[in-house]
Amino acid sequence: MSDYGQFTLMKPLPIAITTLSLTMGAISAQTEAPAKEKEVPMTLEERKASIPSLENHISERRGRLEEISVDVLRLDDRLEKKVDNIVNKLASLKDSESSRRRVSQIKMAAMEGLVKDAKEYQSKRAELIRELQKKKPSQPKDMVEGDVQIVDDRVEKRVEQVLLLSKSFSQERDVKKYTNGGGGYYGWGGGWNSNERVSEEWRQNNRDKSMNKKQRDAVKAALEKSITRYESLANGVEQKLKSKEISAEYRELLMSEQAHYNRVLENRKRQLADFVLVEQPHTKAISQREALDVERALDDAVNDFDSDIRLIKQKYAEIVDERRKIQKLESNLKARKQWLIDYEAGKVKLPTE
C-alpha cells in the first residue's frame, strides 16, 4: 500500500543566476553570523510539568489517527461490499447457447483479479512483518499487528471468493448429441437420409465442460501450490525456533507466524478436499446481450475499485505518518518518566546540581 515518490532532475542554472548566488554567498559570509542562543537546561519543575503536556499531545495525535482510521475503514468496507456483490452476482449466472463462453470468461477474469489482489495483500504482509522484526519499529507494535490480522483476513476471503466462482461453473451433463427434425429423404444413391443434426444444447454442454475443466485444473494447481508453500514456511520457522541465540521478542514473532502458517495450511487442505467434490450449481443462464451488460458493469466496477484503492493508499500513508509521530512521542514520554524515576532514586542529577 505504500507509494513511491518520483525523482525529478534539476536543470542546470543559467550562468547569471549562478554567479549572483555566489556573489550573495560571499556577501553573507562577510556578515557576522548571529550568536547561537545557549540552551538552558530544564528545571525539575519543568521536567515534571512536561509529562502531562506530552501526554496531552499524544492524546491529540491519537485522536487524529482515529479520525483517519475511521475514514479508511469506511472506504474499505464500501470496497468489500462491492466485491461481495459482484462475486455473488457472477456465481449465480451461467452461459446459454447464445452467450456461448462469455459468462465463463468473465468469471475467469474476475478470479484472476481476486488472485492478484490476494498476492498484493501477501506482499503487504511481508512488509509489515519486516517492520515487526525491527529492534526499534517506527510504528507502535500493536497497530502493525492489527494490520497483519486485517491483511490475513483479506487473503483468506479472496481465496474463498475464487472458490465460490470456481464452483459456479456448469458441470458436464448427459445431453443427446443429435436432434431429429422429423422425416427424411432419399439420396441420389437410393439411401435414406434422416434430418438429424447436432443439437445446440450438446454444443453448449461441450463448451461448459471445456471451460469448467480449464478453470478447475488452474484452481486445483493453485491450492496444491499454496499447500506446498505454507508447508515450507512452517518448516522454515520450525528450524529457526531451534536456535538458542534468537531474542525473546523474535521468538514470540516466530511462534505467531508458525501458528498462522499452520492455520492457513489446515484451511487449504480442507479447501482442496471440498474442491474435489463436484456438484451441479444453482445458476441462471443468461443471453449474450445480458452477458455483455454484466461485462460492462464489471468494467465500471473495476474503475471504481481503482479509485477507491488509490484513496485508501493515500489515507493509509497518513495513518503510517501519524503512527510514527506517536511512536516518537511515546518513546520521549517513556524516557522522561524513567528520568524522574531515576532522579528520585538518586541515579541521575540535574545539570545545576
pLDDT tens, residue by residue, 202-220: 888 889 889 999 999 999 9
Residues in the chain with pLDDT < 50?
Answer: 1-30
Q: What is the per-residue pLDDT for 351?
A: 83
Q: What is the per-residue pLDDT for 19?
A: 34
Answer yes or no: are the C-beta atoms of 161 and 114 closer than 8 Å.
yes
CA dist., res. 81 & res. 90, Å (int): 14
Residue of 87, 83, 107 whose CA lies nearest to 95 = 107
Q: What is the per-residue pLDDT for 35?
A: 60
Eight-state DSSP code of residue 197: E
Answer yes or no: are the C-beta atoms of 62 and 252 closer than 8 Å.
no
Answer yes or no: are the C-beta atoms of 170 and 96 closer than 8 Å.
no
Burial 102-119 (b: 16+ CB within 10 A, else e): bbbebbbebbebbbebbe
Q: What is the per-residue pLDDT for 192?
A: 54
Q: What is the per-residue pLDDT for 29?
A: 43
